[in-house]
Amino acid sequence: MEINLQRMLNDLTTIVRYTRTPHNGCTRFSYSVEDRQARDYLLRQMKKLGLSIKVDGIGNIRAKCGKEIDQPSIMIGSHIDTVENGGKYDGLIGVLTALEIIRVLKEKKITLRRPIELIIFAEEEGSNFGVTMLGSKVLTGKYNGEDLKSIKNGSGNSVYDVAKDFGLTVDLIEQDIIREDEVDAMIELHIEQGAVLENQNKSIGIVQAIAGMKTFKITLEGDSNHAGTTPMDLRQDPLAAAATIIAHIKQVAKTTALPTTVATVGKISCQPNMSNVIPQKVEFFVDVRDVESKGVDLITKELMEKVNAVATEDKLQSEVELIGASDPIKLSSSIVHKIEETASTQGYNYIKMNSGAVHDAAMMTSVADVGMIFIPSMGGKSHSPDEYTKEEDIKWGGDLLLHVVNNLAAKTQEAY
């Protein structure tokens, strides 16, 4: 038993056309015209399969095969939204694999003892509102209606208003919260978004843990002045101070923190941002991640102390604001074992590994046993038009997930 790769690639080709930037990667934000087109296509495929479909108030799509079976479901899926100028595999491959698995099981007339549920999470990337995994957070009761009214995009529109304008029943999200007895296991197939699998010449990564993260906004304010007439010892330069802090955090992450700790400054703004003017104000963001809380805590402590020390020395006003956080997540040992057992039996070329990126699967650990399967990203590229995963690796990952789902959900426990 195997997936029909060509059928799945046909789905991929169709949905990739739904982008706001057709010549520069995929740009398909949740609640956009492109999102609507992708949703409509996928909903048509689900209806052809006779699935029981529900779209909740935040836009998550849940489609169940075996709705008549009074048992918790085996949930598979991912997301279809992208970042600006993103790749065509991130999230979407997990959704299309889930759809294809249901097609195959129906074609093979497999008798189920548990229903299989395809899920498409809304707004995973956070491209609209700066909040990642929004759909899964609402689904698991971590955000309520009042939260959605306070979270806004760059135009000042709230999640609540945008979702409502999209035609969603956002006022009913409290009724959509998933119960612990609804789902037995959730498995998400995803591209790795890194280069570990490629570098180790492996086709499959079995994820054991998902990194926790903290994101800080650092604001430093000094005294803007003429670049040529202000002596060095009289300057209050927030950009030079920011450079000192950023270099320190990089060094701490490389040499002092845990081997799994990473820290990144990927966004910085400077005012007035002129070549011949000492800046007045600088803002930059620090992203800290680790599968161990200790690593995140260590960088956090170093960041606080260094900002305070540098601001004091350079006579700057400073603020450190925590703008986002999630805890490290250990995935279900039983599901990890089931995936590894299946991969070993079938002769898959795999390793066990951690995920440095956050995923909707992490949110689902509060209501179900959760696992993840990674397939390689060539060159480690993701969130980029250069994102690429080989067709044979998609096939490996799809077949592995198919076998795992069959073993978890079918009445006859066969190894294929």
Look at the alpha carbons of 360, 135, 158, 43 in this order and tell me if their dihedral is positive or negative. Answer: positive
CATH class as words, domain 212-326: alpha beta
Query: What residues of the chain score a pLDDT lower than 70?
Result: 412-416
Q: Tell the CATH topology of 5-210+329-409.
A: Aminopeptidase (3.40.630)
User: What's the pTM value of the predicted model, to 2 decimals?
Assistant: 0.87
State phi, psi for 74 to the nearest 5 degrees: -100, 115
Per-residue confidence (pLDDT) for residue 412, from 0 to 100:
56
Which ranges in the chain are annotated with CATH 3.30.70.360? Answer: 212-326
Q: Would you call 326 helix, strand, or coil by DSSP?
A: strand
Burial label for 396, CB within 10 Å (0-12, 13-18, 19+), is buried
How much is the pLDDT for 276? 97
Supply the pLDDT for residue 131.
86
Task: Please state, in angstroms and rounded to a whole number, the distance separating the CA atoms of residues 177 and 139.
Answer: 5
What's the pLDDT score for residue 415?
A: 40
142 SS3 class: coil
Neighbouring C-beta atoms of residue 133, cutoff 10 Å: 26
